[in-house]
């Protein structure tokens, strides 16, 4: 069995699909729910210190 360009293309496609499946599994695992909820609330985290109109903290 010789390694030509088509075998290389197939190997890269399979490796890419395996990476995609691994990312999906890591994102949808039950233990990740708490981390995702915390990350989703970050934009709404309120800072106790006042800010000026330019965005600098007082």
- φ, ψ dihedrals at 57, nearest 5°: -80, 145
Distance CA 13, CA 20 (A): 11
Residue 11 lies in a domain: yes
Question: CA separation (Å) from 54 to 50, 51, 58?
Answer: 12, 8, 11
Residue 55 lies in a domain: no
Domain, as residue range, for 41: 5-50
- Report the number of distinct structural domains present in the chain: 1
Stated length of the chain: 58
Q: What is the pLDDT of residue 21?
A: 98
pTM for the model stands at 0.59
CB atoms within 10 A of CB 20: 10
Name residues of the chain where pLDDT drops below 70.
47-58
């Amino acid at each position: 069995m010789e390694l030509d360009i088509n075998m290389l293309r197939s190997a890269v496609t399979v490796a890419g699909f395996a990476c995609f499946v691994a990312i999906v599994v890591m994102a949808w695992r039950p233990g990740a729910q708490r981390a995702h909820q915390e990350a989703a609330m970050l934009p709404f985290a309120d800072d106790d210190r006042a800010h000026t109109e330019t965005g600098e903290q007082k």
